[in-house]
Amino acid sequence: MKIDKVAGIESRGFIIGAALAFQLGIGFVPIRKKGKLPAKTVGHDYELEYGADRIEMHVDAVSKNEKVLLVDDLIATGGTAEAACALIAKTGGKVVECCFVIDLPDLGGRKRLERRGHKVFTLCEFEGE
């Protein structure tokens, strides 16, 4: 599958995502908490189990119809990953898959993303909360 960009969620997703983007020879998109990026941004507000938050990326990071691979270290409840997918969609990008090193299946994040139509790949699972 052709991928145009790798997007990594702050901050451990940067380590994995940047290395993957480099290996694939494609661009890397950092997705960060509000106010952390240096240029003009687009954001997405979302609810967490303990409150609300906002993530942002540069307005020109993803172009219309670009295929994006979303990467982070861990999928727990899936709230931040779901927000990152929505943020990428706001700019016209398409998340082709969400990839994580670790899945905590008892917290339901994978199922949450799959219910939204996203493909999910993980390297390992750890049951329990």
DSSP for the chain reads ----EEEEETTHHHHHHHHHHHHHT-EEEEEEETT-SSS-EEEEEEEETTEEEEEEEETTSS-TT-EEEEEEEEESS-HHHHHHHHHHHHTT-EEEEEEEEEE-GGG-HHHHHHHTT--EEEEEE----
- 49 has catalytic annotation: yes
Catalytic residue among 10, 12, 97, 112: 12
Phi/psi zone of residue 119: left (φ > 0), alpha (ψ -120 to 50 degrees), beta?
beta
Whole-number Å distance between alpha carbons of 58 and 77 = 25
- 116 has catalytic annotation: no
Catalytic residue among 10, 32, 47, 49: 49
List residues with catalytic annotation. 12, 49
